[in-house]
Amino acid sequence: MGKKLLITGFEPFGRETVNPSWEAVSRLEDRIGDMEITKLRLPVVFGRAAELTLEAARKLQPDFILCVGQAGNRAAVTPEVVAINLRDASMEDNAGNRPEDEPVIPGAPAAYFASIPVRGIVAALKEKEIPAALSYSAGAYVCNDLFYTLRHCYEGTHVRVGFIHVPYLPGQGDGKGPVMELRTMVQALGIAAETLKG
């Protein structure tokens, strides 16, 4: 039976004028195999990104939620293994918030593992010679905030939740760090979507 995937990307933040996550997500097909794809662009704002995703998910009733974000210092597509219950920002978000050492959800568990097949995704990407690796930290900024909130909300349900960080696009950062071509990222997300069913 056809499954539904809600996939999110972020608006730009910091000094950047593009965010590769939304650039790649927005270029995905509307259907991959028998999976219906719904794309959502999110603000880089603590709490709000998750609220908007939950709102969209309540309407769509997806089987999978895959969030994508930029991780500028990375050279590979990196599925995140774990989300932690911590907000600890070293820079303001796009609404001027800079939480320090706060829980995402007070009283909730310290961490959740991704509920998508992260290892299967890395293997499928490597098979296509796309640089890929597991990441054991999504940080403590807005990406982790989103990932943690969704994992918490869908714990014990059939909805599978994951997060993938992607590198900078050519032209981003200081020009000296690692980058990845947009078409490679789009291909990578398509492969990840195909691999979700495990």
DSSP-assigned letters across all residues of 109-128:
-SEEE-SS-HHHHHHHHHHT
CA distance 198 to 75: 25
- Side chain identity at residue 14, one-letter code: G
CA distance 172 to 5: 29
| Length, in residues, of the chain | 198
Give contact residues for ligand PCA (rule: CB under 6 A). Answer: 10, 13, 19, 21, 44, 69-71, 139, 141-143
Three-state SS at 45 = coil
Per DSSP bridges, beta strands 31-32 and 82-84 are unpaired
Q: Least distance to ligand PCA from the beta carbon of 3, Å?
A: 25
Show which residues are catalytic.
Answer: 80, 143, 165
Q: Which residue is nearest to ligand PCA (CB)?
A: 143
Q: Least distance to ligand PCA from the beta carbon of 49, Å?
A: 8
Query: Can you name the residues that pair with 35 across neighbouring β-strands?
Result: 3, 32
Nearer to ligand PCA, 69 or 79 (CB): 69
Three-state SS at 6 = strand
